[in-house]
Amino acid sequence: MSSSAERDMLEVDLQHQLGSFALNAAFRAPQGITVLFGRSGSGKTTIVNAVAGLMRPNAGTIRIGTQVLYDSATGQYLPPHKRHVGYIFQEGRLFPHLSVRSNLTYGRWMSGTRADPALFNRIVEMLGLGALLTRRPGALSGGEKQRVAIGRALLAAPRLILADEPLAALDAQRKAEILPYFERLRDEVKTPILYVSHSASEVARLATRVVALEDGRVLRQGRASDVLADPAVTPLGARAAGAILQAKVARHHPDGLTELSASGLPLLLPHLDKAPGSHVRIRIAATDVIIAAQAPAGLSALNVLPGTVDALRPGGGPGAIVSLQTPAGRLLARITQRSVDALGLHPGMSCHAVIKAVAVAPDDIGGTEAAPGLPRDDQP
């Protein structure tokens, strides 16, 4: 991490009481996308609103680099219009009485800074807004509105971007339309991005870092792959658990399958529209992984990875989550407690993880910072 990225890091430590709900969260968000991950009611939106200045927490500190946005000890509180954060709201919140162009330039206009036509054109092009500029928000589709909302936040030249479930109000097709733009933001923009989500696939695809929240507390934070592979971190419940693997597209087979290479181990997937050599992140849901004590034979499943059990976590019901260390990375498997007992699983034991090829949904596959598979602007 470079020193400039450290300088612009968001640091949050706040306590807030809302009725019987107590929020007590401390975390940091450096450059890249930091996802606040948790189920509804875990305090995600409250945190983002506190960072934006729309809500004043009872106690704590909020800083971007050395600039104090809020400090209850010294009584410092910067009003929202002086914070320079670009907030992308779940419902867009475009100004209905202004054209798309005026919506986009609103932040510039308010801050009194001179318009930067080059930046404007670049963001309009990146978000594909050129044809919409003279329209009014009422005449846009949900996906278009959200793209304008992203552009509006970016063009305010923020020091920090906040995104509160920006895809939650969109259908699957629109989600797929917007997700690549966030990947490009993550990879092309130096500004830290704090992104609220309760969607495991969004987290898998976008997160550089994850802050897992549960009931107003930070369960765990760290690199996305570390946090998501922790069997103790299942903010959405064991059924939604899943690990992320980094892989490279090795080759496309004539039978319609794509072979990935995860640290040298082959993984077969339904055809992936990526060139051989491109890097991808895939999320493997814990419910799609089966554990075999011996190398299995005569199975229809195509992907079998050798590994060792490194942690076991009994679930609330009859299920359990097993964390496996494989050469391709850490995997989570959700199996029954009965199977754990029957196989005699214990930490350190060798076993095999069986993954069905069809188990990896396209929604859970994304480009990575290392080598995005997306078309980019040719920037000088």
Q: Which residues of the chain form contacts with another protein (CB under 8 A)?
A: 52-54, 79-87, 89, 91-97, 106-107, 110-111, 136-139, 142, 145, 152-153, 156, 169
- Secondary structure class of 184 (helix, strand, coil): helix
| Closer Cβ to another protein, 164 or 230, answer by number | 164
Phi, psi of 266, rounded to the nearest 5 degrees: -80, 140
CB of 51 to another protein, least distance (A): 10
CB of 185 to another protein, least distance (A): 17
Residues 6+ apart with CB under 8 A from 44: 36, 37, 38, 164, 196, 198, 213
Q: What is the bridge-based pairing of β-strands 10-18 and 21-29? A: antiparallel
CB of 36 to another protein, least distance (A): 17
CB of 339 to another protein, least distance (A): 46
Q: Which residue has the tokens 């949900």?
A: 142
Cβ-contact 167, 179 below 8 angstroms: yes
| Closer Cβ to another protein, 166 or 366, answer by number | 166
| Closer Cβ to another protein, 96 or 254, answer by number | 96
CB of 116 to another protein, least distance (A): 15
| Closer Cβ to another protein, 21 or 109, answer by number | 109
Cα 124 to Cα 85, 129, 279, 282, 286, distances in angstroms? 19, 5, 27, 30, 39
| Closer Cβ to another protein, 96 or 348, answer by number | 96
CB of 150 to another protein, least distance (A): 13
| Closer Cβ to another protein, 39 or 84, answer by number | 84
- Taking residue 122's Cβ as centre, other Cβ atoms within 10 Å add up to 16
CB of 378 to another protein, least distance (A): 30
Q: Which residue has the tokens 């929240």?
A: 213
Strand 59-64: give its sheet, edge to edge. Answer: 76-77, 67-71, 59-64, 10-18, 21-29, 217-223, 209-214, 32-37, 192-197, 160-164, 85-88
* Selection from 178, 153, 158 nearest residue 168 by Cα: 178
Distance between CA atoms of residues 334 and 332, nearest Å: 7
CB of 151 to another protein, least distance (A): 12
Helix (H) or strand (E) holding 305: strand 303-314
| Closer Cβ to another protein, 149 or 269, answer by number | 149
- DSSP β-bridge partners for residue 70: 62, 77
CB of 139 to another protein, least distance (A): 7
Residues 6+ apart with CB under 8 A from 370: 246, 279
| Closer Cβ to another protein, 170 or 240, answer by number | 170
| Closer Cβ to another protein, 161 or 335, answer by number | 161
Indicate the Cα dihedral angle 172, 177, 181, 186, nearest 10°: 30
